[in-house]
A and B are shown apart, each in its own frame.
Chain A
Amino acid sequence: MFSSSKAGLSYIIAGIVLRKVIVLISSYCMPSPIVLPQNKPKSCFEIFIVFTLLALQGFGGVISITQRILVEQKRWISQEEFLELFSVAQLLPGPNVCNLSLAIGDRFFGRSGAFSALAGMMVLPIIIVLFVYQSYGYFSDNELVVGAIRGMSVVAGGMTLGTALRLVSGLKSGVMRYQLLLILAVSVFALVGIFRIPIYIVILLIGGSAVIATYRILLRRDTEVK
């Protein structure tokens, strides 16, 4: 009697644990909702803190974590807005993520918001990288550390690929047809990623013609309305 109730209890506990594990796993595997209500940061200080946290989580590229947190968790901006701001940030010279932080901070609190975001992105990472440099002599020969860095870099590359695919959903609101936008994106990838043609040439040629085509569509729409 005693042993069977003990067995029953352990079955129940095992069941509860299993359920928790399944819920935990499935909560990670949920596809992201596409349209979400928008939130806003409360203060410049909150912007500074959030961007510091973004920078600290960004190994080998901050863009993946920025998209994940600002668009999907904090919901400060929509996927489309993120893509727009990021495209301006990438077209202009300078570190993309810094330009992007600036534009997002500016959107909420003007100049001081922009400054807070940029400061959040830079201050702690500079201190950390200098500390890492100071201690680099001790671990540069360590096989474990070198291996870990290698594995992390591969993951960072994969994360960048995944983020790019996630941003494809933001293309739908464009002026041009979705299929055409996809073809443009793929051809940019082929030129830059595979054939390693300098970025500015690709931006000038493909980007330029895409802008002109979009402009002409907008013009035509205008005359049709009139």
Chain B
Amino acid sequence: MSTSDWLFLILQFFAFSFLAIGGAMTVASDMHRVIVDDMGLLSNNEFVTAIALGKISPGPNVMFVAVLGYQVGGLFGALVLTLAIILPSTTLAYYVAKWGQFNQHRKWVVAIKAGFTPIVVGLLFSTGWIIVDGFHSMKAWILGTLVMLLVWRTRVHLLILIGLGAILGMLGIV
């Protein structure tokens, strides 16, 4: 891939970084458009694999971008694209958080923080709902609800639940 292609891709990812409200997954379809449809760097299958790996490996879901970068240009690509998607948004987040702390007693800042808390709870619940609903199966809903109740009401270690999920999945129960 030529230097200008890299620059173009990096600039695109800078833009995605600023647009990714609600997480990197929200701009996945735009990335697909650029990388698969416009530039033809990866096949649809490769792109979908990257998304799946981001979901199953430990750590933030944004790791799928590292896989995309690796597929496009090896270790260099992985590093460059990950930095391109992370740096702009985190820099912005850092300075906004600083600003908020500096002005924490201003009414607007208090209002923004307090006003958005219910939105965040609703969004988080939606995220979980969309994941469980995506399996389109009654069994997934039963297991999901059970886990929800356990996490909500008890202090069961989360890795125990993950392990249980893996076993149930292997047995083909879920």
- A64 near B111 with CB under 8 A, answer no
Q: Are B62 and A98 in contact (CB under 8 A)?
A: yes
Query: Closest approach, in angstroms, between the C-beta of B70 and any C-beta of chain A?
Result: 6
Nearest A residue to B63 via CB reads A129
A3 to chain B, nearest CB (A): 40
Q: Is the CB of A99 within 8 A of B56?
A: no
In the assembled complex, how far is the CB of residue A88 from the closest CB belonging to chain B, in whole angstroms?
6
B71: chain A residues at CB < 8 Å are 133
Q: Which of B54, B110, B128, B143 contacts A160 (CB 8 A)?
A: B128
A165 within 8 A of B: yes
Asked if B125 and A161 sit within 8 Å, CB to CB, the answer is yes
User: A62 touching B59 by the CB < 8 A rule?
Assistant: yes
A86 within 8 A of B: yes
The docked-state distance in angstroms from the alpha carbon of A184 to that of B119 is: 7
Return the chain B residue nearest A137 by Cβ: B49
Which residue of A64, A130, A185, A203 is within 8 Å of B67 (Cβ)?
A: A130
Question: Given A150-B174, A193-B126, does the pair A88, B96 have CB atoms closer than 8 Å?
Answer: yes
Which B residues between 120 and 150 are near A, CB-CB below 8 angstroms? Answer: 120-135, 140, 143-150
Task: Please name all residues of chain B whose beta carbon is closer than 8 Å to the beta carbon of A157 when the two chains form the complex.
Answer: 128-132, 134, 140, 144, 147
CB <8 Å contact, A215 and B107 = yes
What band does the interface of chain B fall in when counting residues whose beta carbon is under 8 Å from A? 35 or more
Is residue B11 within 8 Å, beta carbon to beta carbon, of the partner chain?
no
- Name the residue among A162, A182, A186 with the largest chain B CB count within 10 angstroms: A162
A151 to B140, CA, bound (A): 8
**B145 to A88, Cβ gap below 8 A?**
no
Report Cα–Cα, A29/B150, bound state, in Å.
Answer: 9
| B residues less than 8 Å from A213 (CB atoms) | 115
- Give the chain B neighbours of A49 by CB distance below 8 A: none
Query: Measured between C-beta atoms, what is the minimum distance from B104 to chain A in Å?
Result: 10
CB under 8 Å from chain A, chain B span 83-98: 85-86, 88-90, 92-94, 96-98
Q: Is B39 an interface residue (CB 8 A)?
A: no
In whole angstroms, how far apart are the Cα atoms of A130 and B66 in the complex? 8
**Chain A to chain B: the 7 pairs with minimum beta-carbon distance, closest first:** A151-B169, A94-B89, A162-B151, A125-B59, A188-B122, A158-B147, A157-B131
Q: Which residues of A contact B (CB under 8 A)?
A: 27-32, 55-65, 68, 72, 83-99, 102-103, 106, 111, 114, 118, 121-122, 124-126, 128-130, 132-133, 136, 140, 144, 147-168, 170-171, 174-176, 181-182, 184-189, 192-194, 196, 199-200, 202-203, 206-207, 210-215, 218-219, 222
Task: Known pairs A99-B93, A147-B170; list 20 more (Cβ under 8 Å).
Answer: A55-B58, A56-B59, A64-B151, A93-B18, A94-B17, A95-B61, A126-B82, A129-B59, A129-B66, A129-B67, A130-B66, A132-B53, A149-B166, A151-B164, A154-B165, A155-B144, A193-B126, A203-B21, A207-B115, A215-B111
